Structure 1
């Protein structure tokens, strides 16, 4: 049996604004709104969907699962995401690899690394 990631779902008090933010940040589009309580974002062909689900009480504290994003130009993308409403948490580094931890407008943390840096860590 083989499993595939089909969708990554984020709990939030307000799904539509957060789904819109992530769709714009990742160049995706909203494909389902479900009356605003479960909003689905489609990314590039073959990529998992992102979903944003309305809950009355999101889990407090640091999220236990987060997205690791890669890009050709980490600095430019980090600046773009901050200008769009992300918050910079920290610059991180280990030998031969650096990344930036950010938080989306709801406080969900995610990381951005250079594509070539990230590829080198999985050899």
Structure 2
């Protein structure tokens, strides 16, 4: 049996605006809204969902997105201008990545393509 990742799903108390934000950042669109409680975003490289929950798990999640960009600095600037918050910057030798948080404080990382 071979498993294939279908999509990554994020819990939110207000999933609509978050789905729209991620659709814009990934160059995709919201393709399903399912009564305002479950949104699906399709993009050329990712499929994500955002589901409404009354109380998301508190604290730092155990799962996050690792995204790749052809120009790390330009992409981080673009994401911050779009509303992402800077959490931290790290490097291990030539490999450098930036930790950001989306408008609802979900943490994700961005690294340069081909850097590891």
TM-score, reference length from structure 2 = 0.97
- Deviation of 1:116 after TM superposition, in Å, equals 1.6
CA offsets, 1:61-92, max 9 Å, x none?
Answer: 11110000001101011001001010000111
The number of equivalent residue pairs is: 116
Task: For residue 81 of structure 1, give the secondary structure of its aligned residue in structure 2.
Answer: helix
Aligned to 1:86: 84
CA offsets, 1:26-76, max 9 Å, x none?
Answer: 1011100011100000011xx442000000000111111000000110101
Aligned to 2:6: 6
Between Structure 1 and Structure 2, the one with more helix by share is: 1
1:56 to 54, 57, 65: 54
In structure 2, how many angstroms separate the alpha carbons of the residues matched to 1:67 and 1:14?
19
Q: Which runs of 5+ in 2 are unaligned?
A: none
Give structure 1 regions of 4+ aligned residues with deviation exceeding 2 angstroms. Answer: none
Q: CA RMSD in A?
A: 0.9
TM-score, reference length from structure 1 = 0.91
